[in-house]
Every structure is written in structure tokens, then in C-alpha cells.
Amino acid sequence: MKRVVLVRTQGPRNVGSVMRAVANFGPAELVLVAPQKRSMLVHPDFTMMAHGVENIRDKIRVVPTLAEALEDTTHSVAFTGRPRDGRLRVDWRERASEYRELCDDPERIVALVFGSEADGLSGAEVDACKEVAFLPTSAEHQSLNLAMATGVVLFTLYSGDAVHKRERGPRMASERQQRFLREHLKAVMGEKIALSLAAKKDIEESIDRVFTRVPLESRDARAWHMMMRALGSKLSPRDFGIGGPPHDARPDDSKQRYGELDDA
């Protein structure tokens, strides 16, 4: 079992965000040690940041001392970004897999201890924990937000089922679909819109520039063909010498005529 311990927390937004991370990557307990204000659990910012978590206040325990938060734990890790005299700090990446196994053991309670947003953990608070760890960062900015640090740690320990299944990405138009769309647009726009040969040339060049530079989804191609159809076009890929594989040769329906083809 995981127990997230926040010591002398100051901000309701951080507590709400940590509560949400606990719900995301639990099961875990959340214990606040001597928070700056007990009223932070009814603060609108706390409610906003913990949005979607059911019975949030029932899932948080508030205690006066770190000793009370740790009294029934089997392991404890203090997270701090500052070196500590006489204490070895370990790179969390090197211990995460070991602690993942400990947290999955129902007979053990592992405390993950984080300090105040203002000054982190004191020396005495660090000494109360069995191990000291840090989250490595780039040299550009070495200070991690409390809620972010907690979320990173909980994510590395999470071993449950992923409920977000792989989602299909957009279906991109094939090169043949894109070619038909360009030719269809130039034919209709040049005929319906252009008032001169110079304007027709400008329109055709603009269509080539725009529709060869940007990624195009099949549904976008369908939308443009529908607009050309609304302008009276009955052109099909064959009118431009654009053929397709055998399974494209279906009866003269709207799909074939307006560019959906095999990739749509």
C-alpha cells in the first residue's frame, strides 16, 4: 500500500492536485501533516483541482505530526531536492522498481513523504524517514512543483491496469485522394470563381500551395468535395485521369465520385 504524506502543506491547489494524482495512480492513502490551514480542504481551489474525485475529503487524513503519519508504516522515503549532511540521497529512478514491488504487497505500507512548498522537509523530518531520494531534473530548472513531484512518483509506482485504451489516430488522405482534391478544387474554383485568366492562375497556384503543405485528413477531403458538389460539380477522379485499385470501381455512388475512395 502507498501512503502519500504531505508535510506542512501551504496551498489548497497542490493538495487538490495531489488528491487527483492519488486517484489516478492508486490505491494510495493521503495524509496531511500539520497543514498551514485546515480550511484548505474546503477551499474552492482544492475542490477545483481535485475535480472528478468522489468523496475527496473522506479520503484525506490530517494529523499533527510526521511521527503519527509514519507510525504504522513499514518503509518510508523522504523526497528532497537538497543534499543532506550524513544522509545518502538516491536517484529515485534506481529504486522505483524495488518500491513498486513493496507498494504492491498488501502487508506493507510505504510512506512517500514530501515537504512544504516553501522550504521542503526539515532535517528532523528527513531523519524520521528510512531513505532519502531525489527526482533528477535538468540543470535549466531544478525545483519541482509539489503536486508535479508527487504525480511523477506515483506514476512510476503504478502497476494497475491501464483503463485508457489505445485510440485511433486521424485517418489521413492518401496521395491519390489529395491529388483528386487539388484537381477538383482547381477545376471548380477556376470555373465558378475566377473572373479572369490571371485570377484563375492565382487560384490554382494557391490551391497547390495550400493543399500540398498541410496534412490532410480523409474527412477534410470529403468536406471539400461536398462543397464542390454544392456548387454543381459532378466530376470524379476518372475525369482527371486518376484511377484506383479494383475495389474502388464501385457503382457511381457519392463515395466514388467525391474522393472517399479506398482510404476514406
Are 17 and 146 contained in the same domain? Answer: yes
Are 184 and 131 contained in the same domain? Answer: no
Where in the sequence is the domain holding 63, given as residue range(s)? 2-157
Domain assignment present for 162: no
Predicted model pTM: 0.62
pLDDT over threshold 70, residue 246 = no
Structural domains in the chain (count): 2
User: DSSP string covering 144-206, please?
Assistant: PPHHHHHHHHHHHH--S---SPPPP---BPPHHHHHHHHHHHHHHHHHHT-SSHHHHHHHHHH
Element containing residue 79 per DSSP (H, E)? strand 75-79
Domain assignment present for 168: no
**CA atoms of 101 and 159, how far apart (whole Å):** 9
Mean per-residue pLDDT for 118-130? 93
Domain assignment present for 165: no
Are 224 and 146 contained in the same domain? Answer: no
Residue range 35-72, pLDDT digits in tens: 988 788 888 899 889 888 887 777 899 999 999 999 99
Are 181 and 142 contained in the same domain? Answer: no
From the centroid of its chain, how far is CA 186?
A: 40
CA dihedral 211, 212, 214, 220 (to 10 degrees): 40
Residue range 140-156, pLDDT digits in tens: 887 889 999 999 999 99
Burial (CB count within 10 angstroms: exposed 0-12, middle 13-18, buried 19+), residue 242: middle
Are 67 and 197 contained in the same domain? Answer: no
Domain assignment present for 228: yes
**CA atoms of 213 and 8, how far apart (whole Å):** 54
Domain assignment present for 163: no
Looking at the DSSP bridge assignments, the partners of residue 112 are 4, 77
Are 121 and 210 contained in the same domain? Answer: no
Mean per-residue pLDDT for 173-194? 88
pLDDT over threshold 70, residue 249 = no
Angle among Cα 51, 53, 71 to the nearest 5 degrees reads 120
Distances in Å between the Cα of 227 and the Cα atoms of 29, 224, 248 are 56, 5, 22
pLDDT over threshold 50, residue 139 = yes
Domain assignment present for 264: no
Mean per-residue pLDDT for 80-105? 87
Q: What is the CATH number of the domain that holds 50?
A: 3.40.1280.10
Are 11 and 132 contained in the same domain? Answer: yes
**pLDDT (0 to 100) of residue 251:** 41
Are 90 and 142 contained in the same domain? Answer: yes
Mean per-residue pLDDT for 90-97? 91
Are 144 and 47 contained in the same domain? Answer: yes
Residue where a domain stops, chosen among 124, 157, 190: 157
Are 136 and 180 contained in the same domain? Answer: no
